Every structure is written in C-alpha cells, then in structure tokens.
Amino acid sequence: MQRPPLKHWRACGAALVVRLPDDGDTRERAICTVCQTVHYENPINVVGTVPWWGETGDQVLLCKRNIEPRWGKWTLPAGFMELGETTAQGAARETDEEAGASIEMQELFSLINVVRVGQVHLFYRARLLSTHFNPGHETIEARLFTEDTIPWDEIAFRTVRETLERYFDDRRRGHWGVHTVDIV
C-alpha cells in the first residue's frame, strides 16, 4: 500500500499508532491512541467512459490532460467516484466535466484492479451523440482518434491503454465483452 499513513485523527487530535487492532483483524491499521478509532483504508474507485463515435465505433474520444499527474498526456475521461452516485453516474459526470461531451451510457466494459495504488478503475462504453466537445479546465483538448491515430506513447495511464486495446480488439471481433484486468 503506497498511501502515506494518516498522522492524526482529526476529531480528537491525538496521535495514531499503526498496529493490529484488538478485534482479531489480521492487518495492521492506523489506530488513535486516545479514542481507539481504527482508520480503515480501502481501495477507491476511479470511473470513466470509452466515448465512441462512428457507425462502427471506429473513433474514440480522448482528453489531453491539463492537470498533474501526466500533464499533457492523453486519457479517457475518468476520475474519482463521489459519494451519493453510482459508478455509471460518476463515469457520466466525469465525461461531462472533462470533455463536455454529450453521451448515451452503455454497458460496463473494463474493470481494472490497480493493486499497488489501491484503486479499482471501471470504464463504461458510451455512445457519443455529437462531436461538439466543451472540455473543462482539467482538459487542454478533447478530440476523436481512430486506432491508428491514437498517440499510444502519450497515453497517461496504463488502465486507459489496457481499456483502449481491448476496445479495438472487441470491435474487430464484433463482440463487446466485460474485461477484468489485474495490474499488481
């Protein structure tokens, strides 16, 4: 787990200690030395879409990142899931925020465990309803690419590359699956 350990428990301001809890838990946790609150850290969800265009879905929408990390690299629209929304709602929201794209949400396409950073990435296929994009401040440029024109060496994240590769594989086969990928 690469996340930095919590230093303080905000509610009481007391120090935390990392140890095994007293309840039989087999993992060490950050535990408040005063109130004994156990701070569980669990994987978080990143949700996004593969927005596609063209009668045969030969084009996908990518966003050039205007934020770190990976500034200037290309990504599918995706971001952290928020409380109070479903994974599909979060994916649609991120697509609106990052690309300003009008879409019709479709099925789940890829589920990628990124174990070393404690994240689960979920991408849904999404049919673009227009090629007019209105990217937000997190995006320098949003545009369509065919498989041949995708800047494969300039893709921001491995999860995006894995998803795009499977998208074009499935398109060739004429069958859309749900793909589970483990990046350990």
- Show the tokens assigned to 92: 């649609």
Q: Is the peptide bond before 69 cis (omega within 30 degrees of 0)?
A: yes
Interface size with Zn ion, residues (CB under 5 A): 6
9 binds Zn ion (CB under 5 A): yes
Binding marks (x or -) toward Zn ion, 29..58, rule CB under 5 A?
Answer: ---x-xx-----------------------
- Residue 133's nearest CA partner among 67, 81, 62 is 62
Q: Which is nearer to Zn ion, 18 or 178 (CB)?
A: 18
CA distance 76 to 9: 36
Name the token pair of 52: 């596609």
Among 1, 5, 12, 177, binds Zn ion (CB under 5 A): 12
Q: Closest separation between CB of residue 21 and Zn ion, Å?
A: 14
Write the CA distances from 134 to 91, 92, 114, 137, 173, integer angstroms. Answer: 17, 14, 30, 10, 32
Q: Residue 5 CB, nearest distance to Zn ion (Å)? A: 15
* Pick 36 or 134: Cβ nearer Zn ion: 36
Residues in touch with Zn ion (CB under 5 A): 9, 12, 14, 32, 34-35
